[in-house]
Amino acid sequence: MNLLPAISPRRVVLAVFMLMALGLRLWGLGWGPGEPLEAGQWTWSIVESLSLYNLTSPQTWNQAFFSLAALVQGVLSFVAGWTGYLLGVVKDSSDIAIPAYMAGRITVAFLGAGQTILAYLLGKKALKSPAAGLMAAALVGVHPLLTSQSHYLSLEIPLGFALLSCMLVAWRIADQPGPRITYAAGIILGLTITTHEAGIFALPILLLAYIFGVGRNRPKRISWALFWPIYFLGGLITGLAIGYPGFILEPYRTEDLLHASIANNLPAPSLLSFTVKQGLASTWSAILKNGTWLALILWAVSAIMMAFTRPVRRFLLLLVPPVFFVAGLITTSLNPMTWIAVWLPAALVPGVWPLIWLCRRMPHYYWGLSAAWVLGILVCLAPLIHSLETGYIFWQQDTLRSARIWLKENLKPEAPLFIDSYLPKAALPRAMAIGPEIYSDILKQNRGYLLHQPQENIPSPNLQRIKDFKFDADQMLPLSHAAYTIYAGFAPSRIKEPLALFRPAVGIKRKKCLVFGDDQDYSLNNSVIKLTGPQNHWRTLKLAKPPKTITAVLSNQGQDLAKIKISQGPFNNHQMTLYPGQSRSLIIKTRPWPPIAQGFLPVKAHLKRGDNLLLYLNWTPLLMARRALEAERFQEVVDHLLPLSEKGNLGFEGNCFLAEAYARLEKYKEAGWALAALGPFDEKPALDYIGLAQKILPSAKWDKTFHNFTGYHPALLRRSLSLCFVPDFEPSGYAPRQQTFKGKDFTGVYLRKNASHNHGWLKLLLEPPFPKGGLKARFHLTMAPGEKLAPQDPVVRLEFWEANGKNNTRLASRLLTRDEISQSRNPFELAFMNPREGAKLQARLVFLTSREILLEKLELGVNLAAHMRHVLRWYYDAWGRVSLNTGSFQRARQSFDSLLALDPDFRDAYLPLAKTLLDSGQTSQAYDRTKSAELLFRANPEQLLQVRDLYQLMGKAGDVARVDDSLAHLRPSLKLEARFAAGLELLGYDLPKAEVKPGQKLDVNYYWRCWSKPPMNYFIFVHLRGMDRTVTFDHLLDHGRQFMTELEPGQVIREDYQIRLPENLAPGEYKLVVGIWDPRFTGKGVPVIRGAGQGSEEVVLGKVKVLP
């Protein structure tokens, strides 16, 4: 059956296949930093060295491809330069030059796409079927190994292109030999050899084709055929001269290059057997990993079928794969993974023959047509998906660059750094290369870090694994995209008790970043984005098992309203508005994108308005649960942690969070189960955690206990929780005027004056955002000799401030004496509480002596013990509430007492503790706690009702009456509920009289309840709206005595307001209207989202009659 009529638009289909192949190879072609990281990528310099004035390279004689790449570079640079000049972008056409590595990659990509045309021509002519040619072209175009290899400036793809060209001329010679085709075969073979010395293995195939051709055609004058080898030899000389002009121009140097090439590629005879065995194992492993096994099976079936069919010369198609397979085994300088890309296209062409043979056996024409399309789609679909995944990975950040960025951001400047000895030195220039046999000894001795590439024949180090960088398709990707692992010089230890630690942020200004989100135990936070203008920023999370949701926390650090659009994938969009100083959380349902690549979660942020916004991404359930617990979103905590709890993977802190959430939801039975997972209240592991939080042990013993309890290495963990700031500034004498200097991630100010008490200061404004909560600073100081001081004389005061412009707030200070610094007690620690996430922090040294005091470095990070004390609050609160519910009053009191000892400002513990004391018969102490709660919740009706009930149970009639008066003061006489989006809810109002005369005062009382913390200090507007006139009265809440931003949820504010009517107000009936509006940023009213006036921006309270 002839399938030719079925593929009538075959040229169009072929063009589509080629464009698709080219697109796959050009997608992500600009990967990497543009520097030689690959083994053999020193060849980029060859492209740079070649020009019309320098036709040869002193480094290699295999320069045919590099000459072509240099030509492409020249043409592209010429076109780009003149285009830029004509458009007025540059002043001279030479100002634009295409980099050599990019020109080389483009050349490889086009040669890779050109393989599809050669595969089509070869399949069409040799298999006598355009359908076979098209199917071969499609397979060559979409195979993932060929696609990935086409992204590199390597010789495998150009050599594969040359081999297909050799096969095409070989078939032409076998079919119809002649002087022209033999001359062309010589040229192509010469170019193949000067592309790679292994191209010489194509010579036997061409000779065999010549024998087939002469024997089959038998020219009329046999003497003519004897001259054809001379044509071939002439073409070979021409091809060699074109590929490497040094054969003619520099023969003396060419001989040395040829000897060096043979010595580098051929193994010693004694090592030949070992080289072949090792090559077989490596090649077979690579074939199984990258999906080439299917092509080999089809090739083998085709070989069996061709043994029983004619013409016999089709066997020429089967020779290239085994010949070059063997070449790869006996050549020592070849990589088995990449060498497969040389002979794979040649194997795919005959490999489609069994599929076409099946189609031709169909009983009906249209059946054969349908079978051809179905089989073509089936064999190409999986490779196409993998190729798209490969292209997407190249479009992302490669693993080697990701590892280098991680090391740069996470390692302190003095940290020793090592690299596998078998990796190129350029992969990590400042690292020292070490071999596998000394991994553990060297790293444990230096406490350094190792960049390791896992290899089958090299065991993994017996060290603490820090971070993995790998893709699911890394078996198809060479060095820059291969899997990498970072190890640290500590014994391996499993994390038994994961901690919910918020970490300092790094890399916040990068527009685009690939975040490998697994293994975050010893990593700083590189998922934070700082947006300072209307630009797009990306963070692409790479996770082995993407969660169902991630949390985006946004914090407006600027002075303007911020409007932001957040996208997770192409269809998952969210719009948010934030006022200055406001923070909001967004729960994003994840949609891995694209579907072709596994485990990628791209998040794009676009700031439409605003000047300084921070975006934090959290994807681990423990951290998302802590975020929700801090915001009192208790059901969200349960949703995050319940799946882990069912698997038993929560740990101490996770069970604390879950127990507290259940207790606040009044699900005491479930809370008890979570607490039961922590063991008894006064036994281990709680006692160990409490001891660590209180930090009553010496530092060395604390570290050991902490390691035994959690599994973390304390030294490694502290490195991942702190940042180091090194002031590269040497003061020269006194500086009576402020000197400003900049360093990595900070701006400094220095002032030194000789006064009686204050001798100047050094201020460092830190740029990276730090998490809210307990922080600890470590100052490394030295003091020069100078004026005579007593041992207890103060010399410097260490301070930390929150920099809020004019309203700076001092967070902590510590005075150091001469004796402390003289005894070299470095570093000097200063612990403090960071009031809010992302706050601008400033470190200060206030000099109190004329002696010179130098700050060598400043370390600032999370205070581990303070974090544990923070978590213990929820542990004690959960135990107290559960114990109170079950009648265990002694344990409940002990829990609440411990909680308030840790944090006296934990408001929610006062009433449960008072109830506990009352139920246990300790009325006097219960009364004191209830009094404290009354003062604390004097503006919270819900809590005041509980206070009243407690007073009533104690028989305190006078206190009950007082609380009743307080409650009455917070209740409107006219109830009218309306919830505004600003966080306030109108409960009602009082209107003592509804009739008034012009010039008189109208008394109105408004009752507002805070249901969510307002983001700004809104204005409240009151309108008297008549038929012809509206009288406006705008004011701040409670006449400015109460800031909305300081309100707490549940708090009720009564606002007593007097409206003085204008003297000229016309008599009549007016509507009394109230609402909230933003005069500063939007100039609009705040919408009512529930209750009276829903959907509008105001609420009509009632009617007021103005009398004549």
In a domain, 396, yes or no: no
Q: Tell me, yes or no, whether 417 and 547 share the same domain.
A: no
SS (H, E, C) 465-510: EEEEECCCCHHHCCHHHCCEEEEECCCCCCCCCCCCCCCCECCCCC
* 935 and 984 share one domain: no
Q: If residue 603 lies in a helix (H) or strand (E), which one and from where to where?
A: strand 600-609
Q: Could you tell me if residue 371 is inside a domain?
A: yes
pLDDT on residue 757: 46
pLDDT bin (cut points 50, 70, 90) of residue 36 is: very low
- State the Cα–Cα distance between residues 349 and 123, nearest whole angstrom: 6
In whole angstroms, what is the distance from residue 365 CA to residue 367 CA? Answer: 5
**Amino acid, single-letter form, for residue 751:** L
Higher model confidence: residue 253 or residue 546? 546
> 989 and 950 in one domain?
no
Q: State the pLDDT at residue 517.
A: 92
Same domain, yes or no: 902 and 931: yes
pLDDT of 530 > 90? The answer is yes
Residue 1034 φ/ψ region, left for φ over 0, alpha for ψ in the -120 to 50 degree band, beta for the rest? beta
* Of 305-319, 691-705, 750-764, highest mean pLDDT: 691-705
Final residue in a domain of this structure, among 593, 619, 645:
619
In whole angstroms, what is the distance from residue 949 CA to residue 953 CA? 6
What is the mean pLDDT of the segment spanning 953-980? 93
208 and 315 both lie in a single domain: yes
Task: Taking each helix axis as running N to C, give the angle between helix 10-26 and helix 130-142, from 0 to 180 degrees, rounded to the nearest 10.
Answer: 10
Query: Coil, strand or helix: which one is 244?
Result: coil
What 3-state DSSP class applies to 254?
helix
CA distance 632 to 652: 20
Would you say 632 and 624 are in contact if contact means Cβ atoms under 8 Å apart? no
Residue 1101: inside a domain, yes or no?
yes
Burial per residue of 877-895, b for 16 or more beta-carbon CB atoms within 10 angstroms, e otherwise: bbbbbbbbbeebbebbbbb
If you average pLDDT over residues 617-639, what whole number do you get?
Answer: 95
Contacts of 331 (CB under 8 A, 6+ apart): 198, 265, 266
Beta bridge partners of 830: 777
Question: Residue 595: is its pLDDT beyond 90?
Answer: no
* Same structural domain, 240 and 307: yes
Distance separating alpha carbons of residues 2 and 18, to the nearest angstrom = 24
pLDDT category at 93 given cuts 50, 70, 90 is confident
Question: Which residue intervals of 648-730 are DSSP H helices?
Answer: 651-664, 668-676, 686-694, 699-710, 714-719
User: Does the residue 501 lie in any domain?
Assistant: no
* CB-based contact 696:705 (threshold 8 Å): no
Same domain, 808 and 897: no
CATH number (domain holding residue 879): 1.25.40.10
User: Structure pTM?
Assistant: 0.85
Separation of alpha carbons 708 and 706, rounded Å:
6
Contact 662, 638 (CB under 8 A): yes
**Tokens linked to 425:** 């030195």
Tokens of 580: 């200055």
- CATH code assigned at 556: 2.60.120.260
Q: For all residues of the chain together, what is the average pLDDT?
A: 86
Which run of H or of E encompasses 610? none
Q: Exposure of 11 by Cβ count < 10 A (0-12 exposed, 13-18 middle, 19+ buried)?
A: exposed
pLDDT at 75 over 70: yes
Give 986-1032 pLDDT, tens digit per residue.
999 999 988 999 888 889 999 999 999 999 999 999 999 888 888 88
What pLDDT was estimated at residue 459?
Answer: 76
| Residue that has been written with the tokens 């979103």 in this structure | 633
- Helix (H), strand (E) at residue 741: strand 735-743
- Separation between Cα atoms, residue 121 and residue 110, nearest integer Å: 17
Please report, rounded to a whole number, the percentage of residues in the chain having pLDDT higher than 70. Answer: 91
**What is the C-alpha to C-alpha distance for residues 791 and 547, in angstroms, rounded to an integer?**
59
Determine, yes or no, domain membership for 508.
no
Give the bridge partners for 800, in sequence order. 812, 843
Report the relative pairing of strands 417-420 and 449-452 from DSSP bridges: parallel
- The amino acid that residue 1041 corresponds to is R
**708 within domain boundaries:** no
- Between 260-264, 1065-1069, 1103-1107, the lowest mean confidence (pLDDT) is in 260-264
What confidence tens digit (pLDDT) does each residue in 113-139 have? 999 999 999 988 888 888 888 999 999
Asked which of 927, 942, 968 is the last residue of a domain, the reply is 968
Average pLDDT score over residue span 734-760: 78
CATH of the domain at 1066: 2.60.40.10
- Using one digit for the tens of pLDDT, what is the confidence trace for 637-678? 999 999 999 888 889 999 999 999 999 999 999 999 999 998
- Cβ neighbours of 358 (radius 10 Å): 13
Is the per-residue pLDDT at 6 higher than 50? Answer: no
Residue 225: which H helix or E strand, with range? helix 222-243
At residue 386, the pLDDT reads: 83
Give whichever of 165-174, 310-319, 870-879 has the largest mean pLDDT: 870-879
In angstroms, the CA 211 to CA 182 distance is: 12
Q: How far apart are CA 901 and CA 732, in angstroms?
A: 49
Is the separation of the CB atoms in 668 and 662 below 8 Å?
yes
CA nearest neighbour of 934 among 955, 916, 953, 907: 907
- How big, in percent rounded to 5, are the helix, strand and coil portions of the chain? 45, 20, 30
Residues across the chain: 1108
Give the Cβ contact number of residue 269 at 10 Å.
7
Domain membership flag for residue 8: no
Reported as a pLDDT band with limits 50, 70 and 90, residue 32 is: low
Which of residues 941, 968, 995 is at a domain's end? Answer: 968
Cβ-proximal residues to 968 (8 Å cutoff; 6+ apart), any chain: none
Residues 665 and 766 reside in one and the same domain = no
| SS3 state of residue 382 | helix
Q: Are residues 1054 and 985 in the same domain?
A: yes
Distances (CA, A) of 238 to 245, 351, 494, 598, 751: 10, 33, 65, 49, 76
- Residue 216, pLDDT > 80, answer no
1073 CB burial (10 A radius; 0-12, 13-18, 19+) = buried
- C-alpha 889 chain-centroid distance: 48
Residues with Cβ within 8 Å of 571's Cβ and at least 6 positions away in sequence, in order, are: 591
Q: How far is CA 756 from CA 586, 847, 850, in A?
A: 54, 11, 10
Question: Range of 145's domain?
Answer: 60-390
Q: How far apart are CA 770 and CA 841, in angstroms?
A: 8
The type of residue at 548 is: K
Enter the DSSP assignment of 261. H
For residue 781, pLDDT beyond 70: yes
Q: Which residue has the tokens 């009151």?
A: 1022
227 in a structural domain: yes
Strand partners, 725: 858
SS (H, E, C) 179-215: HHHHHHHHHHHHHHHHHCHHHHHHHHHHHHHHHHHHH
Q: What is the mean pLDDT of residues 69-79?
A: 90
Q: Which residues is 978 bridged to in the sheet?
A: 986, 1091
d(CA 677, CA 895): 17
pLDDT for the residue numbered 896: 95
Position 38 scores a pLDDT of 47
The total of other beta-carbon atoms located within 10 Å of residue 209's CB is 26
455-481 as b/e: b if 16+ CB within 10 A: eeeeeebebbbbbbbbbebbbbbbbbb
Q: What is the pLDDT of residue 784?
A: 82
Total domains present in the chain:
6
Collapsing DSSP to helix, strand or coil, 980 comes out as strand
**φ and ψ of 520, to 5 deg:** -95, 10
Element (H, E) at 100: helix 100-126
pLDDT at 478 over 80: no
Verify that 1033 and 955 share a domain, yes or no: no
Nearest CA to 946 out of 925, 960, 957, 958 is that of 960
In the structure, what pLDDT confidence band is assigned to residue 894 with cuts at 50, 70 and 90?
very high
Rounded CA-CA distance 764/781 in Å is: 15
Per-residue three-class SS string for 537-553 = EEEEEECCCCCCEEEEE
Over range 350-371, report the average pLDDT.
82
Q: What is the pLDDT of residue 117?
A: 94
pLDDT at 89: 79
DSSP per residue over 397-451, as a string? --HHHHHHHHHHHHS-TT--EEEETTS-GGGSTTSEEE-GGGHHHHHHHHT-EEE
Residues 982 and 961 in one domain: no
* Residue 1016: C-alpha distances to residues 560, 582, 627, 676, 1089 (Å): 12, 8, 22, 43, 18
949 & 985 share domain: no
pLDDT of residue 705: 92
Confidence of residue 973 (pLDDT cuts 50, 70, 90): very high
- Confidence band for 441, pLDDT divided at 50, 70 and 90: confident
